[in-house]
Structures are given as C-alpha cells and as structure tokens.
Chains A and B, each alone.
Chain A
Amino acid sequence: EIVLTQSPGTLSLSPGERATLSCRASQSVSNNYLAWYQQKPGQAPRLLIYDASSRATGTPDRFSGSGSGTDFTLTISRLEPEDFAVYYCQQYGGSPRTFGQGTKVEIK
C-alpha cells in the first residue's frame, strides 16, 4: 500500500498570499496518478487536480499541481477567501487507492 504523507499539517496564511502544499508518497506513484481535493466543513471533497497537474472542470487557474514519482505539490498562487479549507492528495497508481491525512489552510 502506498502511504501518502502531507505537509505541513496546518498552513496559516493571509488572503492574497501563496500557498504551497506537499504530498510525499512512500513509493513511486505509477504514471503520476495523483489527485488533489478540497474539502470544506460539512461538504464532500471536491476534485481539483488529477494526473498530478491537470485541472478538473471548474478549478480556477490559481490552483496548480506539479511533481512526479514520490513528490507532489499543490500551489495556490493567490489565496481567495473561499480557498481556506482542508486539502487532500490521493493516489490511484496503485491498489488500494489511498489518501493523505490532509493539510488545513487557515486564515492567519
């Protein structure tokens, strides 16, 4: 099983700032099959990025994904008020599909 470790656990930033979230895999993720989700309280996770760097339908272009192998990054170029949430990475290159433990982006 591929274990995903996200860092930091919490990111305290102000609107307009840049956010950089990390997701590290315990082994190489096949074909860079890594996705990122955003979750707000009381809501289901929402797909933002798939295949490490492809934006899902409706994902604003301030969100970008990068990385390969075992190291992946989600970058939010300029935080908007609606971006404060918890973010999860998920790999689908191996079985079972696994998620990271999440990074909370909170208002500083």
Chain B
Amino acid sequence: EVQVLESGGGLVQPGGSLRLSCAASGFPFSSYGMSWVRQAPGKGPEWVSAVTTSGDRTYYADSVKGRFTISRDNSKNTQYLQMNNLRAEDTAVYYCAKMQGYFDYWGQGTLVTVSS
C-alpha cells in the first residue's frame, strides 16, 4: 500500500523558516518524481515544487522561487521542503504527493501557519 506521511508543520513568525519532511513507502521511491502541493484555507490546491527521481532537477512556482528548496534522500525514501523567509500568504496545508504529471497519491497534509 502506497503511503506518504508529512511532518514538520507548525506556527512560525513572518520571515521565519520551517522544514517539512515526507516519508514514503509502498512504492519504489527512487523511480518517481515527487511534489509539494499546498492549499490555503477555503482555496483550491496550488502546486508548489517538484523534484525529479534523482534529485538533480527541481522546479518551483513563481510564488516561492528563491525562498523554498525541495530535496530528496532516496536512501531514506524521504523528500523535504525547506521554507525560508515565510510570509502570511504561505499559510496553508502542505501536501506531499507522488507525481506522474498528475498527483496519484497524497499525504494527509501538514498545516503551516505564518503569523505574528
């Protein structure tokens, strides 16, 4: 059974940093691209970032480029999202998703709240 489990969310002040983790199981992790997708309260999902199978290529939404960094450790079946210089508009549930262009498996999400 495919499972992805996010962790690391929480309350952070504007300008602060947070690192999200996503542990995956039930599929050959190193064979699939992975993504982070976020959903602000009452809004639709927004793709944030993606990483290729080996981690050599990364992609970002314009809204987070230069502030967020995606990475993965295939030996640990885990991907990460380092979020710096956080803004109020980054407040959302952040989902880890297995990616095939579309997102076929999602975690339960971790809430990030940016507020003073």
Contacts and interface: CB of A to CB of B under 8 A. Distances in A.
Contacts, number: 51
Interface residues on B, range: 20 to 34
B84 interface: no
A6 to B, nearest CB: 9
A73 interface: no
Contacts of B102: 33, 35, 47, 50, 90, 92
Interface in A70-106: 88, 90, 92, 95-102
Residue in B61, B100, B103, B108 whose Cβ sees the most chain A Cβ within 10 Å = B103
A44 B47 contact: no
Interface in B10-63: 35, 43-47, 50, 59, 61-62
Question: Considering the complex of A and B, which 6 residue pairs feature the smallest CB-CB distances, nearest first?
Answer: A92-B101, A35-B102, A44-B106, A97-B47, A50-B102, A99-B45
Interface of A: 33, 35, 37, 43-47, 50, 56, 88, 90, 92, 95-102
